[in-house]
Amino acid sequence: MRSLDILRYTTSSIVGYRARSLLLLFAMAIGVASVILLTSLGEGARRYVTGEFSALGTHLLIILPGRSETTGGAPPLLGETPRDLNLDDALSLERIRQIRRIAPIAVGSAPVSWQGRERESMVLGTTADFLALRQLRMAQGRFLPAMDPHRSAPICILGSRVRKELFGSQSALGQWLRIGDRRFRVVGTLGSEGRSIGVDLQDVVIVPVASAQALFDTPSLFRILAEARTAADIPTAKAAVARAIRDRHEGEDDVTVITQDAVIATFNRIFRALTLTVAGIAAISLAVAGILIMNVMLVAVSQRTAEIGLLKALGATQHRILLLFLTEAGLLSLAGATIGLGLGSGAAWMVGEFYPALPMTPPSWAVFAALGTALSIGLVFGVLPARRAAALDPVIALAGR
Amino acid sequence: MICLRSACRDYLMGTQTVHALDGVDLDVEAGEYVAITGPSGSGKSTLLHIIGLLDRLSQGSYELDGDDVTHLSDDELALVRCETIGFVFQFFHLVPRLSAAANVELPLILGGIAAGEREERVQAVLQSFGLADRADHRPDQLSGGQRQRVAIARAMVTKPAILLADEPTGNLDRSSGKEVIHILETLNSDGLTLLVVTHDPELSARANRRLHIVDGAITKDERGAG
């Protein structure tokens, strides 16, 4: 039997048993498409978060009070009482050669009011370098001026949402507003893009660090941000920071230095786990599709026992009959998997169109796994029953039992 | 041509062994026209299947054309079926999704004949059975007589030496049945060895040789016009 004839014969049966073929294509396509779409979502979320962290700033080190044994994650809630970080700790880091700039951060929450409008807002005390370090953009006015960090000044910068809620369409620049029991003059407003981990910069009011410490009546800092000069400097910078703080804290290692890479790596791990979970769900849907494929194939082949018997009576060998059914199952599976691939990628693309921030591309391992599983299920369950039928005595097969 | 010696075929029905063929000795010469009759379950279909290599002997031996085919493998049997034996069944066994021409072409495709030659042979055989204008019809668009003629055409397209027919008229009305018998007898008079299993005494009376089977054994073997 020639290969062209095998193809012609199998296409005739694919077209001839239209309902069976369509069902099979459908099951296969759904299975493959769901794996591709779900893993695309997981992978997209992972890449989105990683991207967000990279946008935080480059070569960033975060210094937290308190000792954490793990890299990344939140500082410990319990345990020994750590020594607080203070402004002089922060300023001492400026002398480290590998550090380009630092920004101390003091944070608290206070009511912010202007002409009878009031809202509770996060107040963030920092220095002029914060703007460059976080790669923020001013919408109007200017940021904190470079000045002695120990000096307080009655000036503030508003996050875009705070500005909108207090001032509406009016200009905020130059206005005096009240934060807690002090008065501040608005010197600038932030652009609307500043959003990342934990703190939404659209919702903060930024004041000089000394002013924030006075406002909340505390000498301690929430954390210190530092920027290394180059990526290669990060490990040395990290060690130098730890050493500098230890020297100032009587030899105790009571701060945690997190590098941005470590944070990204942690989130990467979390999201890889998430993607795997999603892939597990997808694998279940693929398995369900596989069982459907299996059933359709079983029914289809048992319906055709008589045909197999006839082929045997006409002189077809067992091997040839198997080849016919293998080709048929292969063609159907391949077509179904291709349709599924198209559907899945199409759906992923559509989601990407609606949420451009999500980079929706299916991971290649998921594509291979989906196609491989679908194809092998299709082949195995197309061929197993055919093998059984082909091994029957022609007489019994002809009777269609 | 066909030579069966002490041929037995046992089936296991539950725990009971059924002797469908029980020590049959049979010689059929090339070009004979044999009718096989007998009550239901007597083993006449089994005998036909054994001769057609669709079934295997439990005991005894079978020589076809001087070659011992008793112990051939499945694939070797398939090859012999493909080359020397044609079948016609009571229920036609046409592939429903294929046209008449494609059904006739099937054994040639399985035999690996080139497309051009297949075309010619299919056309020729359809022509000779008066089916040229039905070539593109599917089985469900054909009458019973036409279907059986397509089935005969399919059996004959490989030019077999033996044609085995299992109740070829069993599912046909009288006139279609006559037509089919006429075709089979014409083929026989051209030298084809023809074995027909039938219930119909009128049909068996037309054969040159009549075998009667009861309980797996040949009880009557008559020759000459009945």
The tokens describing B187, both together, are: 């083929």
The mean per-residue pLDDT over the stretch B58-86 comes to: 90
Q: Is B74 an 8 Å CB contact of chain A?
A: yes
In angstroms, what separates the C-alpha of A6 from chain B's closest C-alpha?
9
Q: Nearest 10 degrees: CA dihedral of A43, A47, A50, A56?
A: -150
In angstroms, what separates the C-alpha of A356 from chain B's closest C-alpha?
49
E strands, A129-181, are 138-141, 155-158, 176-179
| Partner-chain residue, chosen from B75, B97, B109, that has the shortest CB–CB distance to A319 | B75
Handedness of CA B74, B75, B79, B80 (dihedral sign): negative
| Partner-chain residue, chosen from B82, B98, B114, that has the shortest CB–CB distance to A314 | B82
Nearest residue of B to residue A312, measured between CA atoms: B78
Write out the H or E segment, with its range, that includes residue B223. strand B217-223
> Which residues in chain B (35-54) have CB-CB distances under 8 A to chain A?
49, 52, 54
Q: What pLDDT, in 10s, does the model give residues B178-225?
A: 989 999 999 999 999 999 999 888 888 899 999 999 999 999 998 876
- DSSP 8-class letter at A351: H
Best of B109, B122, B156, B157 to disrupt the A interface by mutation (most A CBs within 10 Å)? B109
Query: Could you tell me the pLDDT band of residue B33, with boundaries at 50, 70 and 90?
Result: very high
Mean pLDDT of chain A: 83
Handedness of CA B11, B13, B16, B21 (dihedral sign): negative
Q: Return the axis-axis angle of helices B144-156 and B174-189, rounded to nearest 10°.
A: 20
Contact A241, A96 (CB under 8 A): yes
Q: What pLDDT, in 10s, does the model give residues B108-138?
A: 988 888 889 999 999 999 998 889 999 999 9
Q: Is A316 an 8 Å CB contact of chain B?
A: yes
Mention every residue, 6+ apart, whose C-beta is less than 8 A from residue A215: A108, A110, A123, A125, A179, A180, A182, A207
User: Among A126-140, A170-184, A221-235, A289-303, which range has the highest average pLDDT?
Assistant: A170-184
**Residue the block writes with tokens 């400026």:** A94
Q: Return the axis-axis angle of helices A318-354 and A305-313, rounded to nearest 10°.
A: 140
Flag the least confident range among A98-107, A302-311, B57-66, B102-111. Answer: A302-311
What type of residue sits at position B191?
G
In angstroms, what separates the C-alpha of A1 from chain B's closest C-alpha?
4
Handedness of CA B176, B181, B186, B191 (dihedral sign): positive
Nearest residue of B to residue A395, measured between CA atoms: B54
The mean per-residue pLDDT over the stretch A282-308 comes to: 79
ipTM over 0.90: no
Flag the least confident range among A50-59, A118-127, B98-107. Answer: A50-59
Asked whether the beta carbons of residue B89 and residue A398 sit closer than 8 angstroms, the reply is yes
What distance in Å separates the CA atoms of residue A129 and residue A209, rounded to the nearest whole number? 12
Mention every residue, 6+ apart, whose C-beta is less than 8 A from residue B15: none
Asked whether the beta carbons of residue B55 and residue A310 sit closer than 8 angstroms, the reply is no
CA atoms within 13 A on the CB side of B118: 19
- At A265 the pLDDT is 79
Nearest residue of A to residue B156, measured between CA atoms: A314
Contact A288, A31 (CB under 8 A): yes
**Residue the block writes with tokens 């061929």:** A383
What distance in Å separates the CA atoms of residue A311 and residue A130, rounded to the nearest whole number? 81
What distance in Å separates the CA atoms of residue B37 and residue B200, rounded to the nearest whole number? 8
| Partner-chain residue, chosen from B80, B95, B110, that has the shortest CB–CB distance to A307 | B95
Q: What pLDDT, in 10s, does the model give residues A66-86?
A: 765 544 455 555 544 567 888
What type of residue sits at position A300?
A
CA triple B97-B98-B104, angle to 5 deg:
150
Asked whether the beta carbons of residue B81 and residue A313 sit closer than 8 angstroms, the reply is yes
Asked whether the beta carbons of residue A394 and residue B89 sit closer than 8 angstroms, the reply is no
- At A71 the pLDDT is 44
Give contacts of B52 with chain A, Cβ < 8 Å: 313
Q: Return the axis-axis angle of helices A364-391 and A318-354, rounded to nearest 10°.
A: 150
Pick from A346, A331, A360: which is nearest to A32 by CA?
A346
- At A75 the pLDDT is 55
Give contacts of A12 with chain B, Cβ < 8 Å: 97-98, 102
What distance in Å separates the CA atoms of residue A307 and residue A301, rounded to the nearest whole number? 9
In angstroms, what separates the C-alpha of B160 from chain A's closest C-alpha?
11
Residue A330 has pLDDT above 70, yes or no: yes
Asked whether the beta carbons of residue A315 and residue B54 sit closer than 8 angstroms, the reply is no
Alpha carbon of B90 to those of A398, B93, B135, B167: distances in Å? 11, 8, 21, 5
| Partner-chain residue, chosen from B56, B97, B112, that has the shortest CB–CB distance to A2 | B112
| Partner-chain residue, chosen from A1, A17, A395, that has the shortest CB–CB distance to B112 | A1
